[in-house]
Amino acid sequence: MEAPLIQFNAVARVYGQGEAEVRALDGVSLTIAAGEFVAIMGPSGSGKSTAMNIIGCLDRPTSGEYLFQGVPVQGLTADQRALLRRHALGFVFQGFNLLARSTALENVELPLIYKGMSRAQRGPIAMAALAKVGLGGREHHDPSQLSGGQQQRVAIARALAGSPQLILADEPTGNLDSQRSHEIMLLLQGLNRNEGMTIVMVTHEEDIAAYAGRKMVFTDGHLSEDKRQVARSSEGAA
């Protein structure tokens, strides 16, 4: 049987000691298969961001086990974890995190530069990624010439350019109005449904989580809810 893409076995993450100790995650076990679209929810301090950071190899469990495609991540060196992030993971952030003085194309090329690709190699890949998110013809615009929704599309194209196995989206619509949020969620939903892209998204908004096919809710460091759902359609109805 093929291993899950993501697996937590009794994962705990503890910060501080003694009276200052905070158990951000407290023995969480979960699995996420390749091809799923999962929304992670929970109030501030619930552990959802800590779980996302561990999945993204930005943090490590204090105890328990995190496996990516069956490989124990905590057994990897720092360099190996960096390679995992570079080659298997794509990140989309609330704040877009685009380079202000670089064009859309140059922003999308950035992870390919880290992979050591030449300009001739990375140009066509970045152009294709921009076309995939509906920004063909905007490759030479810098972020100040793009709307918030378009900037987030550039950020998604940047995540896609490295051909990741998993996209981690942290509040991807947090800086957008409702219409732009809807457009971005339909884009992510299409990448999941049409291309089989695995997406794990943190959000605090129920209407955004409704686009995912599975919802996980964290409470006080525990996974308190894990259910599959009928994803919201393009018309906005579940």
- For the chain, the structural domain boundaries read 6-228
Considering only CA atoms, which of 129, 132, 112 is closest in space to residue 121?
Answer: 112
What pLDDT is attached to residue 171?
93
68-85 pLDDT tens trace: 999 999 899 999 999 999
60, burial (CB in 10 Å: exposed 0-12, middle 13-18, buried 19+): middle
Tens of pLDDT, residues 115-148: 889 989 999 999 999 999 999 999 999 999 999 9
Q: What is the pLDDT of residue 234?
A: 60
- For residue 237, the model assigns a pLDDT of 39
Report how far apart, in Å, the C-alpha atoms of 52 and of each of 39, 94, 119, 200 are: 11, 14, 32, 8
Percentage of residues in the chain having pLDDT higher than 70: 97
The whole-angstrom separation of Cα 122 and Cα 139 is: 13
Burial of 2 (0-12, 13-18, 19+ CB in 10 A): exposed
Q: Is the pLDDT of residue 235 over 70?
A: no
In this structure, are residues 99 and 41 in contact, taking their beta carbons and an 8 Å threshold?
A: no
Assigned fold of 6-228 = Rossmann fold (3.40.50)
CA pair distance 219, 91, nearest whole angstrom: 24
DSSP letter (8 states) at residue 176:
S
Residues of 19-29 as b/e, b for ≥16 C-beta within 10 angstroms? eeeebbbbebe
Span 171-229, pLDDT tens digits: 999 889 999 999 999 999 999 999 999 999 999 999 999 999 999 999 999 999 999 99
For the segment 32-54, the average pLDDT, to the nearest whole number, is 96
